[in-house]
Structure 1
Amino acid sequence: MNRSATVALTALAPISWGSTYTVASELLPPDRPLFTGVMRALPAGLLLIALSRTLPKGAWWWKSAVLGALNIGAFFPLLFLSAYRLPGGVAAVLGSAGPLFVVGLAALLLGERAQLKTVLAAVTGAFGVSMVVLTADARLDLVGIAAGVVSSASMAAGTVMTKRWGRPEGVGPLAMTGWQLTAGGLVIIPIAALVEGAPPALDGKAFLGYGYMMLINTGIAYWLWFRGIGQLTATSVTLLGPLSPLTAAVIGWSALGQALSPVQLVGMAIAFGATVAGQLFAGRAQQGKPSREVVRSFSSAEGNAHNVSMDLTGEPVRR
């Protein structure tokens, strides 16, 4: 499969994550974000492990636990804390800073030279997202801002460490996805029990919503994302992140009746253009590099791609 096709398939992951807010707000129990995180990660992880019939061996038990904690277990609670304490737009902009963390850590830990064009593409993408989601009266909260920044940094660290460690010989992205989702879900369970108490009663809509979140929004989406990073650089894939808030904006306009102003439309064009430019720059930079930099590499980068699916009114996200 050529690079363009790989990028296109990988892009389906952040596009799927852009539906998170709509599904959560329309179908799932309110004010249970951590329970939702468990329901997204743990069942999907166990299902993928069952399909792959592969368990970690040796050092990969603790490596999977570390990666699952960084990519899922720490990311989800911090993400939701940020979403609850900040307007959705502010939280989304903090999430869109993820590629900058990845660029810096990749240069430090992977030896990937940070190109100015790539950094500018990441900054431009974040600027375009800010035009789409920020409102003039957006309030700031230091705890929420700290949670948003740390959640992006956690995912960036998970992305780079997974790239650095690669994956065991003979183990594919399906098994690696299952290991990380399961580990991350197990990390969230005690936090959810402590903060939210017993699980809520679920109706038909909730089962439908959780089914979608588990299978499409998490299982398939993460598998596509990880499969893409097995063939692309971590920086290249994380630059697809703005597609998540852009998708959320389009869904909010088409399905929830939320209006898009001319400024927001311009912001969407800027963010999308930066995403395309970032892929072109990353593709040129990847040409001619030794194949060992991209073979058997894998990453979890929902940090930026998942961002925070937001409502366009600037109100805090209630998932």
Structure 2
Amino acid sequence: MSNYFISRWIDIIITAIAPIIWGSTYIVTTQYLPPDRPFTSALIRVLPAGILLLLLTRNIPKKVDWFRLLVLGALNIGFFQAFLFIAAYRLPGGLAAVLGAIQPLVVMLITWVVDGKSPIQTALWSATAGVIGMAILLLSPQTTFEPIGIIAALMGAICMACGVWLSSHWKLDLPLLPLTGWQLLIGGLILIPMAFMVDTPLTILKPSELVAYTYLSLAGALLAYVLWFRGIKKLPTVAVASLGLLSPITAVVLGWIFLSEKISGSALFGLIIVLTSVFIVQKTSTKLN
């Protein structure tokens, strides 16, 4: 087994920690956070983490990088989080996750159209199988299809796909920590007006709510996005996008463990399909530079 192969799988495993952490967001939000404050929760999640990273690193971007940072912060954090929560409030979680699962396919399409690189057939079919597996796992005959929610979920997937591709394509001349910090700060600033205009103001927080917000900020934003952007620097874009499917999978597994939510036979089959899809895409990506 070559050193390159081992190194690549180490990078995959480290990057996978990010969507696994994000998968815990659902159970933390529903069980411990004040209800009906989606944009406030997103704001508290990303803005303090961004400020903390920038205070620790004190790295000012070059003038040439500012426009690209603004675009990446909007796509990866601000707009993505906004669309994510709009979809979450208007759609069943399963449908939102299925629509979000198209992200690897969008990355392949962008790479094909812009870079002229046709997708590897194995990765293409595996990513398609991931969407199908997610549908088997999470959809039911009672699923409600709401147009605005569907548009928001699709736009969120497109924003993140574009952000992943641009992050890999532009390769900004910034160390990892300030690169992450500036994007979190920019995304947080975008979320401020949404939080104040849409959400009910926060009252005095309970200790459990303070702990939950701290976890979402330090683990769900600071740590997870540092690992995510590290992965974007080191892995093919399709491989990184595919790992995002681990987020809803983690949410399902945590719901089964801690909330006694059932996983039926067909859902278990869908879960296996999704995990197999992610593995095959990662295995295919080890052949890419």
Same fold (TM over 0.5): yes
CA spacing shift, 1:261–1:72, aligned 2, 3 Å: same
Distance in 2, Cα, partners of 1:102 & 1:115: 12
Give aligned-pair identity as a percent.
39
Query: Letter of the aligned partner of 1:183 in structure 2?
Result: I
* Higher helix residue share: 2
Q: Equivalences for 1:74-93 in 2 at 5 Å?
A: 74-93=79-98
Determine if the alignment matches structure 1 residue 39 to structure 2 residue 20.
no
| Alpha-carbon shift at residue 199 of structure 1 (Å) | 3.4
| RMSD, aligned CA | 1.3
Determine if the alignment matches structure 1 residue 134 to structure 2 residue 154.
no
Per the alignment, residue 103 of structure 1 pairs with 108
Determine if the alignment matches structure 1 residue 270 to structure 2 residue 273.
yes
Per the alignment, residue 14 of structure 1 pairs with 19
Q: Equivalences for 1:158-197 in 2 at 5 Å?
A: 158-168=163-173, 171-197=174-200
Determine if the alignment matches structure 1 residue 209 to structure 2 residue 212.
yes
Query: Letter of the aligned partner of 2:269 in structure 1?
Result: V
Distance in 1, Cα, partners of 2:250 & 2:109: 27
Question: Is 1:110–1:160's contact at 8 Å kept on the other side of the alignment?
Answer: no
Distance in 1, Cα, partners of 2:232 & 2:163: 13
SS of residue matched to 1:2:
helix
| Alpha-carbon shift at residue 224 of structure 1 (Å) | 0.8
Gap regions ≥5 residues in structure 2: 1-5
Distance in 2, Cα, partners of 1:13 & 1:256: 22
Runs of 4+ in 1 over 6 A off after TM superposition: none
CA spacing shift, 1:132–1:112, aligned 2, 3 Å: same
1:248 to 248, 251, 254: 251
Query: Letter of the aligned partner of 1:267 in structure 2?
Result: G
TM-score, normalized by length of structure 2?
Answer: 0.95
Q: Equivalences for 1:54-65 in 2 at 5 Å?
A: 54-65=59-70
Per the alignment, residue 160 of structure 2 pairs with 155
Distance in 2, Cα, partners of 1:246 & 1:15: 8
| Alpha-carbon shift at residue 174 of structure 1 (Å) | 1.0
Count of residue pairs the alignment pairs up: 284
1:124 to 124, 129, 135: 129
Distance in 1, Cα, partners of 2:116 & 2:56: 35
1:198 to 188, 196, 201: 201
| Alpha-carbon shift at residue 21 of structure 1 (Å) | 0.3
Distance in 2, Cα, partners of 1:208 & 1:29: 12
Distance in 1, Cα, partners of 2:170 & 2:116: 14
Per the alignment, residue 283 of structure 2 pairs with 280
CA spacing shift, 1:161–1:135, aligned 2, 3 Å: same
Query: Letter of the aligned partner of 1:264 in structure 2?
Result: A
Question: Is 2:167–2:232's contact at 8 Å kept on the other side of the alignment?
Answer: no
Query: 1:57-102: per-residue Cα shift (whole Å, max 9, x none)?
Result: 2022222111111111111111111111111111110111111111
Distance in 1, Cα, partners of 2:258 & 2:204: 27
| Alpha-carbon shift at residue 49 of structure 1 (Å) | 1.2
Query: Letter of the aligned partner of 1:121 in structure 2?
Result: S
Distance in 2, Cα, partners of 1:64 & 1:200: 34
CA spacing shift, 1:83–1:51, aligned 2, 3 Å: same
| Alpha-carbon shift at residue 111 of structure 1 (Å) | 4.1
SS of residue matched to 2:243:
coil
Distance in 1, Cα, partners of 2:117 & 2:232: 14
Determine if the alignment matches structure 1 residue 261 to structure 2 residue 247.
no
Question: Is 1:29–1:200's contact at 8 Å kept on the other side of the alignment?
Answer: no
